Amino acid sequence: MSDYATITEAPAAAAKAAPSAKAATGRGAGEPFVSTRNACKLCAPLGASFAYLGIEGCIPLLHGSQGCSTYIRRYGISHFREPIDIASSNFTESAAIFGGELNLGKALDNVSRQYEPKAIGVASTCLSETIGENVPMYLTRYKSERERLAATAVTTGESPAIFYASTPSYAGTHMEGFHAAVRAAVSTMVPAGEDPAPAAGDAAAKARINVLSGFVSTEDLRELHAILTSFGTAYTLLPDYSETLDGVSWEEYRKHPEGGTPLDSIRAMGRASRTLGLGTSVTPDRDAGVWLDEKRGVPLSRIPLPIGVENTDRFFALLSEATGTPVPESWVRARGRLVDAYIDGHKYVAGKKAILYGEDDLVEGIGSLLAEIGIKVVLTGGPEADFATMLEQAKGLGADLAIGNGKGLFLARGLGIPLVRCGFPIHDRIGGQRILHLGYRGTLNLFDLVCNAIMEAKQNAAGIGYTYI
């Protein structure tokens, strides 16, 4: 999990009053750091790997030790319940001393031969970054040799595209790795300064939009597809692991699952009229939308995840503006059902207190929802937060529930409150990858989960077995 969010949008004002990252750690500025216990964050190459898996025919390749890929595969399989292949350059002691250029070249050759991928997404690890590996130089040499061999007919077949993202975990979390990988794919596949996007007033300018989804669930990605399709315009959704990490059952093993954002669709991002970036925590140096704006003149609108009525209204308004199409009636009715649900459940949630944790963008979005329904956020975490410290800080705050990924189980148990699971990772339930968070329907789903968790806790505590609440 990345740094806990500081809620900046007006609808999430209630979350601003929650203890900050510093408060959650119990330390002030300049005080010595105490070892983290049960840390709340995950590693940068993990995020990069999942972003790469959202590209059609792409195999993630970690430049480092084999343990990194094993850890990420285990984490991903437990959440997505799907087979996941992540390659490794397999550092040994000698590679750690003398450098891993040969290892990387062999790994690229092996993956190309065995998987015949359309793309290979390379990400660095703590080990390769610590010893100062110059991976861009290695890849330049590798590509030059590959071109030379192709020119002399020593090799045949189409070579895969190669992306590279620098993702040391000591410089960020899985969210930094995720965004760095998306930017790497865009900056590799979209030519800079060529084939400029059409003017905003041209009819062709409304023919395509880009949507950078952020790290959301597979069901969220399917919801985004449904929303974008309903506006009747061409679009690129990047990344898209809705099928690659949550697909159908196979009768026979496949080297590549179906799905993923096609490479041609990524190439077309430079010709779009606008990019919509979901989530506000990404820094400009990792933002693919900023790259498209600076290099191709495709304007970027970056907004909070569309969770809650106000955030979702903003998302639909931007889509309507970008496409020139009114919001379809089906979504107007979905909004109406959500508002009706707020009215139905208000008496159960108003005045309650919540502990909220997760990726910055998810916390910002859910914080907005909680503010709309009258739940006060009494604690979030921070850059150095861990669940053990959060438990210590939460005692005496009177929280009624916790909201976040499955790793907060012992936090919730320690406080005797229910846990509403959402986000990543969820290893202790089936369907964690299919939780819908985004849009009017996703907000309604979260609202139902929150209401029912509070009602069940009240029912269980009563001891009299009543069936009406």
Any idea where the domains of the chain sit in the sequence? Answer: 10-38+346-462, 44-189, 203-329
Alpha-carbon gap, residue 80 to 218, rounded angstroms: 9
| pLDDT per residue as tens digits for the range 296-319 | 999 999 999 999 999 999 999 999
Query: Which of 64-78, 103-117, 264-278, 373-387 is predicted with the least confidence, judged by mean pLDDT?
Result: 373-387
Which CATH architecture is the domain 203-329 placed in?
Answer: 3-Layer(aba) Sandwich (3.40)
| pLDDT-derived band at 179, boundaries 50, 70, 90 | very high
Same fold, 10-38+346-462 and 203-329: yes
- Inform me whether the pLDDT recorded for 424 exceeds 80: yes
Overall CATH class of domain 44-189: alpha beta
Return the higher-pLDDT residue of 158 and 418. 418
The pLDDT value given to residue 384: 58
Assign domain 10-38+346-462 to its CATH architecture: 3-Layer(aba) Sandwich (3.40)
Are the C-beta atoms of residues 404 and 358 closer than 8 Å to each other?
A: yes
Confidence of residue 195 (pLDDT cuts 50, 70, 90): low
Band of residue 198 on the pLDDT scale cut at 50, 70, 90 = low
